[in-house]
Amino acid sequence: MSKDETTTPANFIRQIIDEDLAADRVSQIVTRFPPEPNGYLHIGHAKAICLNFGIAGDYDGVCYLRFDDTNPIKEESRYVEAIKDDIHWLGFQWKEIRHTSDYFETLYSRAVELIEKGLAYVDDLSMEEIREYRGKWNAPGQESPYRNRPVEENLDLFRRMRAGEFEDGSRVLRAKIDMASSNMNMRDPTLYRVRKVTHQNTGDEWCIYPMYDFAHCLSDAEEHISHSLCSLEFEDNRPLYDWVLDNSSPPSRPHQYEFARLNLEYTILSKRKLTLLVDTGKVSGWDDPRMPTISGLRRRGYTPESIRDLCDRVGVTKKDSVVEMGVLENTIREDLDRTAPRAMAVLNPLKLVITNYPEGESEELDAANHPQKPEMGSRKIPFGRELYIERDDFMEDAPKKFFRLTPGCEVRLRYAYFVTCTDVIKDAHGHITEVHCTYDPATKGGGSPDGRKVKGTIHWVSAPHAVETQVRLYDRLFTTPVPGKDTGDFMDDLNPDSAVTVKAFLEPALGAAEPGSHFQFERLGYFFVDPIDSAPQRPVFNRTVTLRDSWAKGRK
């Protein structure tokens, strides 16, 4: 981690913490990151992770990783390992791993306590009936006929629910609050439901499972969470969060604060939608380099630093917002510009023949690994009569501002020589197959001993020495800033060109590139050696992001 990493800016939550500390309302800061293990973590989760772990770190507090496993029909343990990996990779360490299921027995006792106080009851209404009884926003609901069962009967029924005497959906435990409340969450919310399924952690020990609103606040209390941070859509749940804590006897009294979740242009951050992309094969998996998941970004070539930087840059507020893709892309450009060694690669080759270079000969030239960091050293690259250059770097009839190769003009081959285009060779269809040039031996290394100016510098690779490999050019997964906004279905906005694989030619040194390493291919972008698909001496590169290109931008 670099020492000059941006200091985390203040935000309203940190202000609340400062005030709580100053007023002595809390003595230690305890937070938690509570994912439900029903999918992979995405960059929106990264915001919550940075917030919770970041605060705990900065305030000398602790942060727990809590798997919120209250719904066994949706959750799988295979997601647990992936979530742990992602958090570690991001650079955070939890104090302990907890599960909501660790508290099932305690939770059960608190429910019994509510029943004894006359604040909860077993309801025999069906799911549909409960929905009908709940009423509308502008009309109060009606009380269930089972609402006023005697405490003893409720206790007995609830015990028998636990014992497995009732089938799924036949009975639930409900809080007795207010069927006329303007807050729908307070119209006798369900606390427990019957689910006769095996739980990933507790096996068949339980057949009743607590609902989020009941379990979450009490789990927070068990862990002595000082500040329970969640997203905006839970604002309406806060009165219920408080009600449960105030009407049972938890070991501590946490408080919930809500912040706006992250939204990014040209992608989606909804677990449901991401799952659909995976399940329908639109992407190769949760770690497809186009996915906004932590594992996808990692495989794309994003670094933990860049993602943490994004979280710092977007801040924490209560305002719904959609962050431009450019902000994310910039964080990785900034990081990799500092750290990635440079190399040359040609993605769309055009043969260049240097007609005055001796046939069958070659030489080695020096190239710096980083133009601003001599300490990163240099390497040798072979040069000879036949090279590949980028097809885009040659134009037969070029506009005046085209600072590249064009007939009759001289350009510099990076770290090599000045060359002048003398001929253009075409096939029968008029397609350019090669360009002929002459070179000036006095300009070896790319210098200009006579002070001669050249219109541009282009990259190249020696044809006989080049390493051929696969490079995947990734682009945004969707074609519109807010997928589905106009079409109604985000699937309709998928970008058909989001993954293009090309055969590329690399300078020889790149053949030994280690899986998981980053490079800048000069003038093209940052590329990452895919850790899964690469083989020894046969790296497969993923394009993380292109370089800024003011030339391309100006032409649009």
Partner RNA sequence: UGGGGCGUAGCCAAGUGGUAAGGCACGGGGUUUUGAUCCCCGCAUGCGCAGGUUCGAAUCCUGCCGCCCCAGCCA
Site for RNA in 216-245 (CB under 7 A): 216, 232-237
Site for RNA in 453-472 (CB under 7 A): 456-459
134 touching RNA, by CB under 7 A: yes
193 touching RNA, by CB under 7 A: yes
Contacting range for RNA; rule: CB under 7 A; set: 25-33, 41-49, 281-289, 319-327? 319-327
484 touching RNA, by CB under 7 A: no
Structure tokens of 95?
Answer: 């104090």
Site for RNA in 42-101 (CB under 7 A): 68, 70-71, 74
Question: Is residue 538 annotated as part of the catalytic site, yes or no?
Answer: no
Site for RNA in 284-313 (CB under 7 A): 313
CA atoms of 394 and 231, how far apart (whole Å):
52
Residue 313: what residue type? Answer: R
Give the nearer residue to RNA in terms of CB position, either 53 or 209.
209
Site for RNA in 339-378 (CB under 7 A): 342, 370-372
Burial of 415 (0-12, 13-18, 19+ CB in 10 A): buried
DSSP state of 524: T
Give the nearer residue to RNA in terms of CB position, either 148 or 321.
321
Residue 87: what residue type? Answer: I
Give the nearer residue to RNA in terms of CB position, either 28 or 447.
447
Site for RNA in 8-47 (CB under 7 A): 9-12, 15, 34, 36
Residue 461: what residue type? Answer: V
Give the nearer residue to RNA in terms of CB position, either 27 or 372.
372
CA distances from 128 to 142, 189, 217 (A): 14, 14, 27
Catalytic-labelled residue, pool 36, 143, 386, 434: 36
Q: How many residues bind RNA (CB under 7 A)?
A: 91
User: Which H or E element spans position 208?
Assistant: strand 208-210
Question: Contact with RNA (CB under 7 A): which of 86, 102, 213, 530?
Answer: 213
Give the nearer residue to RNA in terms of CB position, either 324 or 514.
324
130 touching RNA, by CB under 7 A: yes
CA atoms of 471 and 503, how far apart (whole Å):
6
Neighbouring-strand partners of residue 250: none
Please, what is the minimum distance in Å from the beta carbon of residue 176 to RNA? Answer: 14
Question: Is residue 36 annotated as part of the catalytic site, yes or no?
Answer: yes
Catalytic-labelled residue, pool 261, 313, 391, 455: 261
Contacting range for RNA; rule: CB under 7 A; set: 145-153, 190-198, 275-283, 345-353? 190-198
CA atoms of 520 and 476, how far apart (whole Å):
20
Site for RNA in 244-263 (CB under 7 A): 260
Contacting range for RNA; rule: CB under 7 A; set: 156-164, 292-300, 510-518, 543-551? 543-551
Please, what is the minimum distance in Å from the beta carbon of residue 237 to RNA? Answer: 6
Give the nearer residue to RNA in terms of CB position, either 315 or 407.
315
Please, what is the minimum distance in Å from the beta carbon of residue 458 to RNA? Answer: 7
333 touching RNA, by CB under 7 A: yes
DSSP state of 8: P
Structure tokens of 514?
Answer: 């280690």
Give Dmax (Cα) for the chain. 102
Tell me what percent of the chain is helix, strand and coil, each rounded to the nearest 5: 30, 25, 45
Question: Is residue 273 annotated as part of the catalytic site, yes or no?
Answer: no
DSSP string, 47-80: HHHHHHHHHHHHTT-EEEEEE----TTT--THHH
Give the nearer residue to RNA in terms of CB position, either 446 or 508.
446
- Angle, CA of 128, 132 and 136, to the nearest 5°: 140
The b-or-e profile of 303-324 (16+ CB within 10 A means b, else e) is bbbbbbbbbbebbbeeeeeebe
4 touching RNA, by CB under 7 A: no
382 touching RNA, by CB under 7 A: no
Bin 124: left if φ > 0, else alpha if -120 < ψ < 50, else beta. Answer: alpha
Q: What residues are annotated to the active site?
A: 36, 261, 271
